[in-house]
Structure 1
Amino acid sequence: MTKTLSLYNQNFTLHPSGAMFWEEEDLLVISDVHLGKVSHFRKFGSAVPQNAIVGNFQKMNEVIAFFEPSKIAFLGDLFHSSLNKEWLLFEHWLENISAEVILVEGNHDIISPLKYEALGVFVTPEIVLKNFLFTHHPEERHGFFNFSGHIHPGVKIRGRGRQQLKLSCFFKSKDQLILPAFGEFTGKHILIPQGDDEVYVVTKEEVICLND
């Protein structure tokens, strides 16, 4: 189950995968996939399952099939490290994507933009459309609502008997929405809502507004 927000008379649908869809622009927004991270960890001896490598690609395929966007924007950290064998999987994945693909550069995007551009991916430091600013790092800019990633936002939910869950979330403040990390094995940075902040936690099947 998704959740739709209305901002400046535009509709943005939050998906349980952590992706967001801008209806009027037919734009799918994904942040912090960190492709290559699993291979990077395995190279240095971490016991990460081999089949985890394909998890991010399967997840992207599922959300693309759900929205069928004409454009896809990655808000940084698409690839976690320098080139490794997952780059070949990324090349193959792009061959089956008909949508226009845009990468907003993140701090982990150290692969040359020329490599992306050779695959038809447009690389840019930011996207400005209407009243909206899309960046990797959260940013405040007068007159714009900012969509970003980088933080890997999460919250703690406490229950009875000292039980607690740490869940990824979309974290919304007055002029900003931080998207959760899309990728596997990315971790969470726990945020504490203040004032009018809104928290939309993601589970495998739905987006839940904690403010409700």
Structure 2
Amino acid sequence: MTLAESSESTTSTVRWAGELLHLLPERALWWPAAGVLFVADLHLGKAATYRALGQPVPGGTTQENLARLDALIARWSPRRIVFLGDFLHAAQARTVLAGVQAWRERHAGIAMTLVRGNHDSRAGDPPEALSIEVVDEPHLMGPFACCHHPQPHATHFVLAGHLHPVCRLHGPGRDRVRLPCFVSEAGRAVLPAFGEFTGGWLMERAPGRRFHAVGGSAVWALPASE
């Protein structure tokens, strides 16, 4: 589907490593030439992990996350989904795997790759029944180095997660708001966390650092820092 055909949301288009990419308001990255959807920091089962520890947090976030993935798949028809780390939140999160298995079976024709993140090291790899290829960072794909942790790479443009970046916008008086964002700088970009229950880390402006804020159903570029 082209951007003109998608009336539900407004994406932002960038060119990284010579490739045209779309920054999506669902907090994902679409690479149309390769048919690849990139998603960072899904953290499935995070709320279930907190409940297992006795914290009174609401349920349903795993199904909300999977429903958002369903909508992205329906809109863009990816040939592959690359998860840039932290697919599961913790070992306790494996209680949600029955629902994840049913979701995976609905999308059996889509190849999926997980680049291991720090939470994956604790949660363990997804079971083989999910048919998700699991790799270590950096995982090279075309001109991109798929990573979880933002890091330099000598030859490839890095796509990473881990930081859950947010930016801060200021309005009149003392008005201010924090929004998820895509952050790019020389040789790398960091995706916002896809998961519903993940929080965010405020990234400050710096020379050469570009921000694309995500709010509602839109993504837009913020003015560049000097």
Could you tell me the TM-score, scaled by structure 2's length?
0.89
Change (3 A) 1:106 1:62: same
Deviations 1:78-112 (A, max 9, x none): 10011432111111110111210100000001343
Aligned: 1:101 with 2:101: no
What is the deviation of 1:50?
Answer: 2.2
Q: Aligned equivalents of 1:189 and 1:171: distance in 2?
A: 12
Q: Aligned equivalents of 1:99 and 1:11: distance in 2?
A: 22
Q: Aligned equivalents of 2:147 and 2:33: distance in 1?
A: 19
Percentage of matched positions with identical amino acids? 31
1:77 to 58, 63, 86: 86
Q: Aligned equivalents of 1:22 and 1:50: distance in 2?
A: 32
Equivalent residue, structure 2, for 1:165: 177
Q: Aligned equivalents of 2:220 and 2:18: distance in 1?
A: 22
Q: Which amino acid aligns with 2:155?
A: G
Matched residue SS, 2:118: coil
Q: Aligned equivalents of 1:24 and 1:184: distance in 2?
A: 28
Q: Which amino acid aligns with 2:97?
A: W
Equivalent residue, structure 2, for 1:24: 33
Equivalent residue, structure 1, for 2:203: 191
Q: Aligned equivalents of 2:82 and 2:211: distance in 1?
A: 22
Q: Aligned equivalents of 1:167 and 1:200: distance in 2?
A: 10
Q: Which amino acid aligns with 1:139?
A: Q
Which of 49-58 and 65-74 deviates more? Answer: 49-58
Equivalent residue, structure 2, for 1:54: 63
Q: Which amino acid aligns with 2:43?
A: H
Aligned: 1:92 with 2:102: yes
Aligned positions, number: 211
Aligned: 1:35 with 2:44: yes
Q: Aligned equivalents of 2:149 and 2:98: distance in 1?
A: 27
Equivalent residue, structure 2, for 1:143: 155
CA contact (8 A) 1:77 1:107 kept: yes
Could you tell me the TM-score, scaled by structure 1's length?
0.94
Deviations 1:43-94 (A, max 9, x none): 2232322233421111111112121101000000010011432111111110
Which of 103-112 and 25-34 deviates more? Answer: 103-112
Equivalent residue, structure 1, for 2:5: none
Q: Which amino acid aligns with 1:186?
A: T
What is the deviation of 1:185?
Answer: 1.4
Aligned: 1:124 with 2:139: no
Deviations 1:98-144 (A, max 9, x none): 2101000000013433x433321100013202321110000101122
